[in-house]
Amino acid sequence: MDATRQSSALRPTTAEERAERARTTGGAPTLEFGTRTPYDAYVRTDVLHGLQHPLSDDAGEMSFLMITQVMELYFKLIAFELRNAQERLRADDVWGALDPLRRTALHLEGLNASWRGLRWMTPADFNRFRDELGEASGLQSAMYRHVEFLLGLKNPALLRPFKRQVRTHDDLLRTLEAPSLWDDAVALLARHGHDLPRELLDRDFAAEHEPHPAVERAWVEVYRDTGPGNGTRLLGEVLTDVAEQFGDWRHQHVTAVRRAMGAKPGSGGSNGLAWLERSMARVVFPELWSARTHM
């Protein structure tokens, strides 16, 4: 649908107009529209519901496909919120960064709940349509890689699957080479007077952050002030929520794979379960966790 068709179906209204319409209809909903329903025009339901094209006749594949698509939408939403939080941190607006990060944690809860819709899938269920997927694998999700890179889990090798998708590759490369959310949090600590070495602030951001005792000490100092005006402490807590929910996502991913296919090789060429289990060893916001030992 082009912008002209969308604008013709969507017209801004005021609170007064809505109240007047409710009085006119006696509180009944509007059921007649000149064109398509405004809801369809806004949500683009025609596009969303036209994206499901199962490759087999197995009824379970529709669950697998649609839940995967729902997860992709969550990845995009989470990446959007993380970038919003980064903008606020770079502007030294700690309080402004809290809301997008709180939303991120809630979106991750919704993402994690998506796994429930796949609990029915045994290896026999998955095997009925798995061959049709060929080499397609969730490990090839570009939007998920954006989320990982934004959270500080950097690995340049994971750009390689996208080298023939120029726009996707370039977008991912920019995210890889830019500071992560954790890099921005560390830079904020330095601007707020914490003693952090220059090599932590002026580094190759395409490389994964290595835990540093100076960052750990800075967070210990932040948490000493328990007053309500300490926005940086609240930032630490909401970052912890995000990291915890993301950890839950990774754990549930491993559990879902173990349940649906055991230790069989993955569709994308990895050894499946073992590869995922190794990836879980990389910690998001590491000093925020290790600092708790010294608080």
Q: According to the annotation, is 253 in a ligand binding site?
A: yes
Determine if residue 169 is labeled as part of a ligand binding site: no
Distance CA 205, CA 34 (A): 53
Query: What span, in angstroms and rounded, lies between the C-alpha atoms of 126 and 118?
Result: 10
Work out the burial of residue 272: count CB atoms within 10 Å of its CB; fewer than 13 is exposed, 13-18 middle, 19 or more buried: buried
Instruction: Tell me how crowded residue 251 is: count the other CB atoms within 10 A of its CB.
Output: 14
Residue with tokens 């952050």: 209
Task: Give residue 261's identity as a one-letter amino acid code.
Answer: M
pLDDT in tens, the chain (295 residues): 455 555 567 888 899 988 998 999 898 988 888 888 889 999 999 999 999 999 999 999 999 999 999 999 999 999 999 999 999 999 999 999 999 999 999 999 999 999 999 999 999 999 999 999 998 888 899 999 999 999 999 999 999 999 999 999 999 999 999 999 999 999 999 999 999 999 999 999 999 999 999 999 999 999 999 998 999 999 999 999 999 999 999 999 888 888 888 877 766 666 667 767 787 778 999 999 999 999 9
Q: Rounded to 5 degrees, what are φ and ψ at 198?
A: -60, -35
The residue among 88, 89, 108 whose CA lies nearest residue 148 is: 108
Q: Residue 7: its pLDDT value, please?
A: 55
d(Cα 172, Cα 91) in Å, to the nearest integer?
24
The candidate with the shortest Cα–Cα distance to 64, out of 111, 118, 143, 113, is 118
Domain 60-294 has CATH 3.40.50.2000: no
| Contacts for 99-105: CB closer than 8 Å, 24+ residues apart | 101/235, 101/238, 101/239, 101/241, 101/242, 102/238, 102/241, 104/78, 104/242, 105/238, 105/241, 105/242, 105/245
Tokens for 279, please give them: 């990836």
Contacts of 276 (CB under 8 A, 6+ apart): 250, 253, 254, 257
The one-character DSSP state at 205 is: T
Q: How many Å apart are CA 239 and CA 150, to the nearest integer?
A: 13
pTM: 0.92
Give the burial class of 112: count Cβ atoms within 10 A of its Cβ; 0-12 exposed, 13-18 middle, 19 or more buried.
buried
Domain boundaries, given as residue ranges, for the chain: 3-48, 60-294
The type of residue at 179 is P
